[in-house]
Amino acid sequence: MKVGKKLASNSIYLFLDRFVISIFSLLFWIFLAKTISVSDYGIVATSINIVVTVSVFTSLGINLALSKLIPEFVAKNKYDIIKSYIWNSFKIISLTLLIVSILFLIFSNQIATVIKIPYDAVIIILVSIIFTTLQNLISSITYGLQKMRRFFITDIIGFFSRLLITLFLILNGFNYIGALIGFFLSQVVISITRLDLSYFSRKKSTINGKLLYYALPAFLTVISTTVIGYGHYIILSILKNITITGIFALSFTITNILTAFPSVLTSALFPIMSLLSAKKNTNNRQGYLLGLVVRYSLILIIPASIILILFSKYAVLVFSRLDFLSATEYFPFLVPAAVFLSFGNMFGNMLFAIGKPKIQRNITILTMILFLITSIPLTIYFSAIGMSIAYLLASLFIFISSLIFIRKYIKINFFVKDILKIFLSSIIIAFIFYIFKPLINDIPILIIFSIPIGILYLFILLFLKFYRREDIKLLEFIFWKIPLIKNIIRYFSKFIK
């Protein structure tokens, strides 16, 4: 399969994957926000994010190293080395999990006191860390081998099971415990369904320096990224209380939706950039593909950001109830932060993909330091508003830094004229929304207004001659991959032509 089609194929499955799990995740959090108390919601949010944070440490960056190295060895047809790396990775991570489990059990009471969560939640956190770490390892193998269809199907099974188990347990009176058990079991389900025992071969079981070369910087990078992306829950829980954490968590969950599409495209591009980095004279190709990914990301993220800021009240009510309405205060900071962080992570991941992991590591460590030295005092004096400001500053820093460095190694085609057309079209629809905002007084009316304005947005881009041959080819490829909507795509493709 040609590189362009492989990118499109990866993007389609990852988009479907992200779309489906986003729906299931949103239903999970909406159900919690509408059924359990604000403090219980804060316990669930804090607990799950502790799992995510600690599993980063226990993964040791090996999962990211594998996702980078496996495509390279696939391109060179060196499958024995891939199996050797996987087996060694499993042994190292298993030992790490054993040590962390012992420490967690010894200090479980202290952890519960400091984080302000019940002891039974701490125990569920521990078992969740074990299976989340294993799931990260197995997922990196599936991802590195570019088995995106399997990635998609197993995520559907796992996230659907999480929602179903949580619904059953909470409706039977388990409250936050039901949600945490549902999360834990979903990690077990994904690990089992994604596991392929043929990956784990003991042949040539020797540690190669290349694995450590990428794993160590990746470990520091992912720790820093996790602190930036999830540390605010823990800081708010310690410095303030679970109720404030719960309200901030809802706002963060909603605004974080903006990162979905850029994240999907970044994930689709990453193994391809790794593969191209193993070949010579591919710099222009890499720059062109990265430029396309930026262009496609902006098409959705800019107008979506405008709508989210203008109608933050309705966004909160869709996902929760009136108790959470104060979450709208954080939107003006968290929305632009989500945009900057999306592209900052995109450029940073591309640095890793082209073999510059230490640069990405340094950028994320500096960003983490900036976040910590600003978030703690700002949270003490301004509560969750201060945390939102600190998060915005960190996101802006990682965006600017990553952009500066990626341009040193890749000549990116930014399609500047196209980006200007996106901003112009977004300003026009923002003006239309602003004019009609007094008439939009509930959620159904907002949906009714959004459909024709969204179509108008696409037609404005058409009038500005935004669409290119690549867009038509992509539509035609989607037509081939998703026959259920072939008539719509075929018509739109012909219309653009």
For 374-430, what is each residue's pLDDT tens digit?
999 999 999 889 999 999 999 999 999 999 999 998 888 888 899 999 999 999 998
Look up the pTM and report it: 0.72
What pLDDT is recorded for position 245? 83
Q: Give phi and psi for 426, each to the nearest 5.
A: -65, -40
* CA–CA dist 101, 118 (Å, integer): 18
pLDDT tens digit string along 89-125? Answer: 888 888 988 998 898 888 888 888 887 788 888 888 8
What pLDDT is recorded for position 356? 85
Give me the number of domains the chain comprises.
1
* CA–CA dist 113, 110 (Å, integer): 5
**HSE (CB half, 13 Å, CA atoms) of 247?**
19
* CA–CA dist 348, 341 (Å, integer): 10
Give the pLDDT band (50/70/90) at residue 1. Answer: very low
What average pLDDT does the segment 163-172 reach?
A: 89
**HSE (CB half, 13 Å, CA atoms) of 202?**
1
Kindly report the length of the chain: 497
More confident residue, 190 or 144: 190
pLDDT at residue 2 tops 80: no
pLDDT tens digit string along 183-220? Answer: 989 988 888 888 877 776 555 555 556 777 777 787 78
First to last CA, the chain: 25
* CA–CA dist 354, 478 (Å, integer): 28
Nearest CA among 464, 462, 486 for reference residue 475:
486
Residue 360 burial (CB count, 10 A): 30
pLDDT at residue 485 tops 60: no
Residue 98 burial (CB count, 10 A): 11
Residue 302 burial (CB count, 10 A): 20
Asked whether residue 471 is domain-assigned, the answer is no
Asked whether residue 237 is domain-assigned, the answer is yes
Asked whether residue 453 is domain-assigned, the answer is no
What pLDDT is recorded for position 422? 93
Tell me 414's DSSP state. Answer: -
What pLDDT is recorded for position 387? 93
Mean pLDDT, the chain, whole residue set: 82
More confident residue, 166 or 12: 166
Asked whether residue 105 is domain-assigned, the answer is yes
More confident residue, 447 or 130: 130
The two counts, helices (H) then strands (E), for the chain are 19, 0
pLDDT at residue 256 tops 70: yes
Give the pLDDT band (50/70/90) at residue 480. Answer: low
Query: 75-79, 115-119, 136-140: which has the highest mean pLDDT?
Result: 136-140
Asked whether residue 428 is domain-assigned, the answer is no
Question: Of all helices (H) and strands (E), which one includes residue 428?
Answer: helix 416-436
What pLDDT is recorded for position 412? 85
Asked whether residue 127 is domain-assigned, the answer is yes
What average pLDDT does the segment 337-364 reach?
A: 89
pLDDT at residue 481 tops 60: no
Asked whether residue 329 is domain-assigned, the answer is yes
**HSE (CB half, 13 Å, CA atoms) of 307?**
22
Asked whether residue 295 is domain-assigned, the answer is yes
What average pLDDT does the segment 325-343 reach?
A: 92
Nearest CA among 231, 220, 166 for reference residue 34:
166
**HSE (CB half, 13 Å, CA atoms) of 295?**
22
* CA–CA dist 206, 112 (Å, integer): 40
Query: Tokens 């990405």 — which residue?
Result: 360
Tell me 281's DSSP state. Answer: S
Which residues touch 326 (CB under 8 Å, ≥6 apart)? Answer: 247
Query: Tokens 């994604």 — which residue?
Result: 194
* CA–CA dist 401, 410 (Å, integer): 15
- Percentage of the chain modeled with pLDDT above 90: 18
3 state SS of 412: coil
What average pLDDT does the segment 446-453 reach?
A: 84
More confident residue, 31 or 394: 394
Residue 331 burial (CB count, 10 A): 22
Residue type, 154: T
Domain that holds residue 260: 3-414
